[in-house]
Amino acid sequence: MQESSQGQARSPRLAEFALALGGFGIGTSEFVIMGLMNRVAGDLAVTVPQVGYAISSYALGVVVGAPIISALAARMPRRLLLILLMLVFAVGNIASAMAPEFWSFVALRFLAGLPHGAYFGVAALVAAGAVPVDQRARAVSRVMMGLTVAILLGAPLGTWAGNQFGWQIAFTGVGVIAVVTALLIRLFVPVQPVDSTASPVKELSALLKQRVLVTIAIACIGCGGMFSIFSYVMPTLTRQAGMSEALGPLVLVIFGIGSIIGNLVGGRMADKNLMRAIPRILIWCAVIQGLYYFAANSVWSGLLFVGLVGTSMALAPSLQTRLMDVAEDAQTMAASLNHAAFNGANALGAWLAGLAISAGFTPSSTGFVGTGLALCGLVIFVFGRWLEKRTYPASSLSNNMS
């Protein structure tokens, strides 16, 4: 990591590992509940659909926490903020495991979701600030690797442990990971100079910046297709393709491998030419998500395309880096809002996919929903570039943004 007024990081790779470990804990907490819904419902005496309230509560915590924490902590040292966010996350998850009844569990999932967006946003800024400009997206992708590995390993392992020993152990384990992350951040992430000019007002100004809002809209809509497919991938492959439910963990693993590949490739594409990478990735998403409609008629082609749909994660480092370029004095707010937007994409994609299936279309119609959302994201990108060229002089755009 970079040198700071307080010294130099002992090990750049350990610093990145510490930041990624926090992402692993967050990703595991977010996705593991989907595999534990039956156990949670049985223990807390509610129906499985009602457990969905806890998932929505967590997502709401992400959306609410990102802007509020970014504004209030504008002048807080980033390393200290990361440590505090991990400790709050630890408390939220361990308390979730100790919830005495359902509605307290729902409230504690909201608490656990509050640090999510701010953590990823600040961690991305710390990682990007520690490398040359032309390597920022790759640094961001390495930090976000924790999230993709959580899909590959954390959620399946947590689901297995939760079903074997009780769902509480999964959230307790996440809480322990968060505490370890806080310790590693303290040990290996260097102190970075505090921006003395930062303020809540400046951070909130991100909400008024045209290019920030366009980028967030691309994340919220363009990324929704991946979630529309992933939310219904099990009923699609079991009912339509005839896949055995025993292959459920394999589905998560394949999706996780695809998301890791997409994350790494997307980071490299963004470092090479950011403003060409974003539309190309959106077009890729539109194509592979549309082809999923046909592939899901067979188990093995369906599994292959589950992995290809996972590569849609390539958008994440590109959009995160774009927000750093356009946020100006509101870096923390803009970076945090990217993850709030991804949770919005999760909600939007799942909702639209549910409408399509409820209307009588085949389960794999979620692929066409994904194509539509990716193309909408592409339209927003093109419209945003048109607005940008009218608003900002061409000379003000860097070579990587043109």
The model's pLDDT over 40-49, given as tens digits with 9 standing for 90+, comes to 888 999 887 6
pLDDT band at residue 398 under the 50/70/90 scheme: very low
Interacting residues of 349 by C-beta distance below 8 A, sequence separation 6+? 223, 224, 225, 226, 227, 228, 229, 230, 231, 369, 370, 373
Residue 402 has pLDDT above 60, yes or no: no
Q: Could you give the CA distance from residue 130 to residue 16 in angstroms, rounded to a whole number?
A: 10
Q: Could you give the CA distance from residue 76 to residue 376 in angstroms, rounded to a whole number?
A: 37
Beta bridge partners, 57, equal none
pLDDT > 70: percent of the chain: 92
Q: Could you give the CA distance from residue 126 to residue 130 in angstroms, rounded to a whole number?
A: 6
Please, what is the Cα angle at 244 between 51 and 44, to 5 degrees?
A: 20
Contact of 281 with 318, CB cutoff 8 Å: yes
Q: What is the pLDDT, as a whole number, of residue 283?
A: 97
What residue spans define the domains of the chain? 1-197, 199-402
Choose among 126, 146, 164, 143: nearest CA to 30: 146
Choose among 310, 76, 94, 105: nearest CA to 199: 76
Q: What is the pLDDT, as a whole number, of residue 5?
A: 40
Looking at CATH, the fold of the domain delimited by 199-402 is given as Growth Hormone; Chain: A; (1.20.1250)
Interacting residues of 382 by C-beta distance below 8 A, sequence separation 6+? 279
Residue 383 has pLDDT above 50, yes or no: yes
Helices (H) and strands (E) in the chain, counts: 18, 0
Q: What is the pLDDT, as a whole number, of residue 393?
A: 61
Beta bridge partners, 4, equal 7
Residue 105 has pLDDT above 90, yes or no: yes
Contact of 263 with 148, CB cutoff 8 Å: yes
Asked which of 8-22, 124-138, 188-202 is least confident by mean pLDDT, the reply is: 188-202
Choose among 218, 312, 197, 326: nearest CA to 266: 312
Helices (H), 75-154: 78-97, 102-128, 136-149
The CATH superfamily of 1-197 is MFS general substrate transporter like domains (1.20.1250.20)
Read off the pLDDT of residues 130-159 as tens digits, 9 standing for 90 and up: 777 778 788 888 888 888 889 888 988 898
How large is the average pLDDT for residues 177-205? 81
Interacting residues of 42 by C-beta distance below 8 A, sequence separation 6+? none
N-to-C CA span, the chain: 29
Interacting residues of 306 by C-beta distance below 8 A, sequence separation 6+? 229, 233, 237, 251, 254, 255, 258, 292
How large is the average pLDDT for residues 387-400? 62
Contact of 43 with 165, CB cutoff 8 Å: no
User: Helix (H, G, I), strand (E, B), or coil: what is residue 109?
Assistant: helix
Q: Is it true that 1-197 and 199-402 share their CATH fold?
A: yes
- Tokens 């993709």 correspond to 148
Contact of 163 with 43, CB cutoff 8 Å: no
Helices (H), 189-273: 200-204, 210-217, 224-231, 233-235, 248-272
Please, what is the Cα angle at 177 between 176 and 182, to 5 degrees?
A: 100
- Tokens 């994609």 correspond to 349
Q: What is the pLDDT, as a whole number, of residue 109?
A: 94
CB-count burial class (<10 Å; 0-12, 13-18, 19+) for 367? buried
Choose among 377, 368, 400, 373: nearest CA to 279: 377
Residue 169 has pLDDT above 80, yes or no: yes
Contact of 70 with 357, CB cutoff 8 Å: no
How large is the average pLDDT for residues 82-93? 97
- Tokens 């974003």 correspond to 278
pLDDT: which is higher, 38 or 266: 266
pTM for this one? 0.78
Asked which of 70-79, 194-203, 294-303, 306-315 is least confident by mean pLDDT, the reply is: 194-203
Beta bridge partners, 7, equal 4
How large is the average pLDDT for residues 100-106? 94
